[in-house]
């Protein structure tokens, strides 16, 4: 399916925050999705104008997959997906695609996930795949987000964190819960909460370009191997608008 446009049915909608929602899509025929892949969505206006955007797969389902979309105020596609799309509608989709920024169950080593804002979406797919496989390798998520109200998948993340092999840490950049500090992620905070480079973890970083570049540099300073760090950026490349 990766090269062909198909009509997918919208079979479920779930609000994640006031500006983001998860969309469950059912495909004409089941298509496997690797954790970390993305799909393209194409909207066509009555006058024939088309807009195509890419969205990370948040998780696979038996008959399709879920995506989570955050609305951008000046976006062409995301406001419609977040505000107007309804169960029973159809979307033109292509994919899933991508084979580099992915986690596979046959990968045996520890994994460090680092997400900024909506960059948590493909990382959530990895966390879900890890849990579904009852994988024994340690998984750790460091999630940088503006405020508690901006957290995607909070209840599910807390449930996953009850497993011995999964851990999640939040860094609140603007507003934190009572008694917790707020501030941007820095090198010191990163060092305290990520797996040590000596354990040779696979590292997946997703977020805005500045976030990804800063975190990647800090990890190299902390002794992580360059070939173990994989990154994905949103914004400017058709990502989340």
- Give me the CATH topology for the region 111-234: Rossmann fold (3.40.50)
Q: What is the pLDDT of residues 82-108, one digit of tens each?
A: 999 999 999 999 999 999 999 999 998
Which of 98, 115, 143 shows the shortest CA–CA distance to 207?
115
CB 234 within 8 A of CB 208: yes
Fold classification of 6-97 (topology level): Elongation Factor Tu (Ef-tu); domain 3 (2.40.30)
Give the per-residue pLDDT at 235: 54
pTM of the shown model: 0.94
pLDDT tens, position by position, 218-228: 999 999 999 99
Task: List the chain residues with pLDDT less than 50.
Answer: 1, 236-241
pLDDT number for residue 174: 95
CA 33 vs CA 21, 42, 102: distances in Å:
20, 19, 10
| pLDDT of 238 | 32
**Confidence (pLDDT) at 100:** 93
pLDDT at 5: 95
Under 8 Å between Cβ of 79 and 51: no
Q: Any idea where the domains of the chain sit in the sequence?
A: 6-97, 111-234
């Amino acid at each position: 399916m990766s090269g062909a446009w198909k009509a997918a049915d919208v079979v479920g909608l779930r609000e994640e925050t006031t500006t983001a929602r998860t969309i469950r899509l059912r495909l004409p025929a089941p298509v496997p999705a690797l954790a970390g892949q993305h799909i393209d969505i194409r909207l066509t206006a009555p006058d024939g104008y088309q807009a195509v955007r890419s969205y990370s797969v948040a998780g696979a389902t038996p008959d399709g997959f879920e995506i989570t979309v955050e609305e951008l105020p000046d976006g062409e596609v995301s406001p419609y997906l977040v505000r107007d799309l309804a169960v029973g509608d159809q979307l033109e989709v292509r994919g899933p695609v991508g084979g580099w920024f992915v986690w596979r169950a046959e990968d045996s080593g520890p994994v460090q996930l680092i997400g900024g804002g909506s960059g948590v979406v493909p990382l959530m797919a990895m966390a879900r795949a890890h849990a579904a496989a009852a994988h024994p390798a340690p998984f750790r998520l460091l999630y940088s987000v503006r405020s508690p109200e901006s957290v995607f998948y909070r209840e599910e993340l807390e449930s996953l964190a009850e497993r011995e092999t999964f851990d999640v840490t939040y860094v609140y950049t603007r507003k934190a819960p009572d008694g917790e500090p707020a501030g941007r992620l820095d090198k010191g905070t990163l060092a305290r909460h990520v797996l040590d480079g000596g354990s040779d973890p696979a590292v997946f970083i997703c977020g805005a370009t500045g976030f990804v570049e800063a975190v990647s540099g800090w990890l190299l300073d902390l002794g992580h191997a360059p070939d173990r760090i994989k990154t994905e950026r949103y914004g400017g490349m058709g990502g989340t608008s």
